Structure 1
Amino acid sequence: MIAGARIAAAIEVLEDIDERRRPAADALKDWGLAHRFAGSKDRSAIGSLVFDALRRRASSAFVMGEAGPRAVILGALRLVRGLSLEEASALFSGEAHAPAPMSEKERELFASASLEGAPAHVAGDFPAWLEPSFAAVFEDRLIAETSALAERAPVDVRVNTLKCSRDKALLSLAHLNAAVTPLSPLGLRLPLTPEGRNPALAAEPDYVKGRVEVQDEGSQLAAMLAAAKPGEQVLDLCAGAGGKTLALAALMQNKGQIYASDSDGRRLMPIYARLERAGARNVQVRAPRRGEGGLADLVGACDLVMIDAPCTGTGAWRRNPDAKWRMRPGALEQRIADQDQTLAAAARFVKPRGRILYVTCSLLREENEDRIAAFLAIHPDFHAVGAQEMAENAGLPQLGAFASSMGPGVRLSPATTGTDGFFIALLTRSNLS
């Protein structure tokens, strides 16, 4: 496909996303199935265009004066890729399946594109209804923080210490320009290719043999802040596909026991293959059966309960940019209810002097500090561990610098730590008689 035809395809995919209000990945998959002549490089390039446009959808529409897919693609070519008017005009030639030529108005707007005077939700590319929540958290850093959420994210991997050292993995992945992550002692960062694509990990021996696992540095740090020790009894209550479960297994050196559970058993399906590949032998998967969680024997028995809480995912917008435009106020209300319910459920499994690690990939106070405060108000037998103490206990004292100013816990974000957005808080149960 010529470059202009890829632009036309990206516009077509955005039209499908708008009309059917569904995830971008689904729309891209369907487009590929319907256009089998498109090679893997074509599909990758089209996907990259679509996600660039979704990351900067509000600002792209602002500079082009309208919000349709064609305008958003044009705006993204200017704001994200920095194309000149001449370069963009060559792509919009109207020839060989390329989009129709740019109108005189489009040319004028493209050439003079500026975000001067744009409201905060446009400059930061986030839904307008979330502005009060973001402003309450970020204050004068609102645009800087939300703009960072609209950038492309690198690929981070966690070195699986059950099988490999970071030094060995760094050497083995040197051809992908791997570099150590600045905060996680177990992480490597793989930059995007010059074309903006993710490095191809699926065929790398280190990945296939379980020596590395794809995991954002922030997620790695969240698991490490649990300070899980060999021999402990650990419940991963919202294990999903098992990313943090695997990290805990390595930290515990395959000693003790981890119980991986999730309210939706379907989310657990990928964990089995991942456990085998990683060589994690101290994990029991407890899938729910007939509405029962299968965890009755763990009540009051766990040293640690990990909650990777259901949340709005605002901290992961770099990787899921379409999710922010599908999000509605009712989703936040539902997530808050889910979080309170999950915290209350977790408390049942914690033994005296045991702990809960509460994690979200959200940057909203409503899902983070407010939930911890609400939990502590009705659970006097628990107390929150200070951010600096939590960081030092995990051997990561530098993370104390990212303590929340709104309550106990650590906050990570693309603008402050170069990671996805995460909130991590540690709660300890008193030594009951």
Structure 2
Amino acid sequence: MRIGGRLQGAIEVLSEVEERKRPIANALKDWGTAHRFAGSGDRAAIGNIVYDALRLKLSHAFLMDDDSPAALAHAVLFRQWGFTPESLAERLDGDKFAPEPLSESALAAFASGNLADAPDHVRADLPEWILPAFKENFGDDWLAEAEALNLRPSLDLRVNTLKADREKVKKALSRAGADLTAIAPQGLRIPPGSGGDRLPNVTAELAFQKGWFEVQDEGSQIVARLVDAHAGQQVLDYCAGGGGKTLALAADMDNAGQVHAYDADRTRLAPIIERLRRAGTRNVQVHDDAAALEGLSFDRVLIDAPCTGTGTWRRRPDIKWRLSEKNLEERMAQQDAVLAAASRFVKPGGLLVYVTCSLLPAENQARIAAFLEGRADFEALDIAALWQERFPSSPKQPHFTDGRFATLTPASTGTDGFFCAVLRKQGWTG
């Protein structure tokens, strides 16, 4: 397909996402099924236009003075892919699969538009009601943090040290352009590329089938390492989901001790069995019923709490525009419930590690403050000191709040957005 057909395909997918509120991945899959003549490169390029358009939806619409799918898709090519209106028009001339030309008013608006004149939330490409939370969390850095959240993400991998070492896996993935991550000691990173570039399908690699690595964002690897799990300990991953952090913990423990992976949602938990088998883990028990945990206590309890997912907006920009204040309130209630439930399983002297992939203080600092209020049995540890212990040579640092909380972001650590707090239960483990 030429650029005109790809542009038209992206407009069709954007229309489906906008009108029917469908996840991007589902809309792209259905488009590909209905257009089987499109090759993998075509589908990748169309997907890139769609994702780029939704990451910068507000600023694209402001500069085009038009928020239609066609205007958003054209804005991607003008602002991010290196086309000018004139060069694009030349490429589309005579292409029967190209979309209708943009209106003269949209082209004139783009030629004269200045993003500096836009409201703050438009410059940041944030829902307007979210903007105060970003300013609260990041102060003068709020715009830089928001802008970094609107860039394409890399493809990050975690080397499975139960089967391979980092240099071995890097060599195996040399064709994919894998290089070392800056912070996570077992991480590899493949850059996101630009324009119509597509990321390699690393799960088709023999090294993946052998269990040498897992796909896992560097931020997720980092917060798993902050759990500080050691061989011989008893560890609970309370909201285990698909098991990414469970696998990281098992590897940190060198298959010694025990990791209990629990999630109430069987659908989310389902992939973990195959992943554990491929990774060669022998120290993980999987539970979908909380009753199986009764009577147990643990040296480490990790809560990867349900959240709004604001830290993952690079990868899932469509959810940014569907998020509501009601959604946030629902997540806060769930977070309070999970903290109360999981904290019962921490041994005296043990650690409770609270993690979200959110950048909103209401889900993070405020939830820990609410949990600690009136409780003398838990205290928040100095996470800046823990960071120095776990990542002594790190060239980057997250945002530290009151010395007790860490927020990883695309701007500060080059990762997805994650919040982490580490609490110690009072007492002696013996």
Which residue in 2 is equivalent to 1:305? 301
CA–CA distance in structure 1, aligned partners of residues 377 and 12 of structure 2: 56
Instruction: Pick closer, same or farther for the CA change 1:397–1:167 going to 2, 3 Å.
Output: closer
1:424 paired with 2:425, answer no
Say which SS state the counterpart of residue 207 (structure 2) adopts: helix
User: How much does 1:266 deviate?
Assistant: 1.0
User: How much does 1:397 deviate?
Assistant: 6.9
Say which SS state the counterpart of residue 37 (structure 1) adopts: coil
Say which SS state the counterpart of residue 303 (structure 1) adopts: strand
User: How much does 1:405 deviate?
Assistant: 2.5
User: How much does 1:393 deviate?
Assistant: 4.5
Could you tell me which of 288, 292, 295 is aligned with 2:293? 295
User: How much does 1:87 deviate?
Assistant: 2.4
Contact in 1 for aligned 2:311/2:357 (Cα 8 Å): yes
CA–CA distance in structure 2, aligned partners of residues 331 and 39 of structure 1: 38
Q: Where does the alignment leave 5 or more consecutive residues of structure 2 unmatched?
A: none
Could you tell me which of 373, 390, 396 is aligned with 2:386? 390
Contact in 2 for aligned 1:227/1:393 (Cα 8 Å): no
Which residue in 2 is equivalent to 1:76? 76
1:3 paired with 2:3, answer yes
Contact in 2 for aligned 1:369/1:408 (Cα 8 Å): no
CA–CA distance in structure 1, aligned partners of residues 393 and 280 of structure 2: 29
Deviations 1:272-307 (A, max 9, x none): 11101111111011123xxx5432132xx1111111
In structure 1, give the amino acid aligned to 2:124: G
CA–CA distance in structure 1, aligned partners of residues 94 and 54 of structure 2: 24
Deviations 1:109-164 (A, max 9, x none): 33344312111111111111101111111222111110100000011111111011
Which residue in 2 is equivalent to 1:43? 43
Contact in 1 for aligned 2:155/2:199 (Cα 8 Å): yes
Say which SS state the counterpart of residue 321 (structure 2) adopts: helix
CA–CA distance in structure 1, aligned partners of residues 368 and 393 of structure 2: 22
User: How much does 1:400 deviate?
Assistant: 9.4
Across the aligned residues of Structure 1 and Structure 2, the Cα RMSD in angstroms comes to 1.8
Say which SS state the counterpart of residue 198 (structure 2) adopts: coil
Instruction: Pick closer, same or farther for the CA change 1:140–1:424 going to 2, 3 Å.
Output: same
CA–CA distance in structure 1, aligned partners of residues 390 and 106 of structure 2: 54
Which residue in 1 is equivalent to 2:184? 184
Which residue in 2 is equivalent to 1:28? 28
CA–CA distance in structure 1, aligned partners of residues 159 and 381 of structure 2: 28
Which residue in 2 is equivalent to 1:249? 250
CA–CA distance in structure 2, aligned partners of residues 416 and 171 of structure 1: 28
User: How much does 1:65 deviate?
Assistant: 0.2
Deviations 1:31-57 (A, max 9, x none): 112222222222111111110101111
Which residue in 2 is equivalent to 1:63? 63
Contact in 1 for aligned 2:384/2:400 (Cα 8 Å): no
User: How much does 1:63 deviate?
Assistant: 0.3
User: How much does 1:396 deviate?
Assistant: 4.3
Which residue in 2 is equivalent to 1:111? 111
Q: TM-score, normalised by structure 2?
A: 0.95
Say which SS state the counterpart of residue 81 (structure 2) adopts: coil
Contact in 2 for aligned 1:64/1:75 (Cα 8 Å): yes
Contact in 2 for aligned 1:304/1:355 (Cα 8 Å): yes
1:370 paired with 2:371, answer no
1:129 paired with 2:129, answer yes
- Residues 204-243 of structure 1 correspond to what in structure 2 (within 5 A)? 204-243=205-244
In structure 1, give the amino acid aligned to 2:331: R
CA–CA distance in structure 2, aligned partners of residues 343 and 146 of structure 1: 28
CA–CA distance in structure 2, aligned partners of residues 24 and 265 of structure 1: 24
Contact in 2 for aligned 1:391/1:399 (Cα 8 Å): no
Contact in 1 for aligned 2:145/2:410 (Cα 8 Å): yes
In structure 1, give the amino acid aligned to 2:356: T
User: How much does 1:181 deviate?
Assistant: 0.8
CA–CA distance in structure 2, aligned partners of residues 410 and 398 of structure 1: 14
Q: Which portions of structure 1, spanning 4 or more consecutive aligned residues, are displaced by more than 4 angstroms?
A: 91-94, 395-401
Contact in 2 for aligned 1:400/1:410 (Cα 8 Å): no
CA–CA distance in structure 2, aligned partners of residues 154 and 424 of structure 1: 21
Contact in 2 for aligned 1:177/1:191 (Cα 8 Å): yes
Contact in 1 for aligned 2:44/2:197 (Cα 8 Å): no
CA–CA distance in structure 2, aligned partners of residues 351 and 193 of structure 1: 46
Q: Where does the alignment leave 5 or more consecutive residues of structure 1 unmatched?
A: none
In structure 1, give the amino acid aligned to 2:370: A
Contact in 2 for aligned 1:4/1:99 (Cα 8 Å): yes
Select between 262-271 and 164-173 the one with higher mean Cα deviation. 164-173
Say which SS state the counterpart of residue 373 (structure 2) adopts: helix
In structure 1, give the amino acid aligned to 2:295: D
Instruction: Pick closer, same or farther for the CA change 1:273–1:245 going to 2, 3 Å.
Output: same
CA–CA distance in structure 2, aligned partners of residues 59 and 254 of structure 1: 49
Deviations 1:57-100 (A, max 9, x none): 11100000021111111222222223111222235547422101
Instruction: Pick closer, same or farther for the CA change 1:110–1:356 going to 2, 3 Å.
Output: same
Instruction: Pick closer, same or farther for the CA change 1:424–1:305 going to 2, 3 Å.
Output: same
Which residue in 1 is equivalent to 2:141? 141
Instruction: Pick closer, same or farther for the CA change 1:90–1:112 going to 2, 3 Å.
Output: farther
1:320 paired with 2:316, answer yes
Select between 404-413 and 15-24 the one with higher mean Cα deviation. 404-413
Say which SS state the counterpart of residue 259 (structure 1) adopts: strand
Select between 398-407 and 176-185 the one with higher mean Cα deviation. 398-407
Instruction: Pick closer, same or farther for the CA change 1:108–1:7 going to 2, 3 Å.
Output: same
CA–CA distance in structure 2, aligned partners of residues 178 and 12 of structure 1: 33
Which residue in 1 is equivalent to 2:203? 202
Which residue in 1 is equivalent to 2:270? 269
Say which SS state the counterpart of residue 423 (structure 1) adopts: strand
Contact in 1 for aligned 2:383/2:403 (Cα 8 Å): no
Say which SS state the counterpart of residue 404 (structure 1) adopts: strand
Q: TM-score, normalised by structure 1?
A: 0.95
User: How much does 1:104 deviate?
Assistant: 2.0
User: How much does 1:406 deviate?
Assistant: 4.6
CA–CA distance in structure 2, aligned partners of residues 23 and 203 of structure 1: 24
In structure 2, give the amino acid aligned to 1:215: Q
Say which SS state the counterpart of residue 254 (structure 2) adopts: coil
Contact in 2 for aligned 1:177/1:190 (Cα 8 Å): yes
Contact in 2 for aligned 1:387/1:403 (Cα 8 Å): no
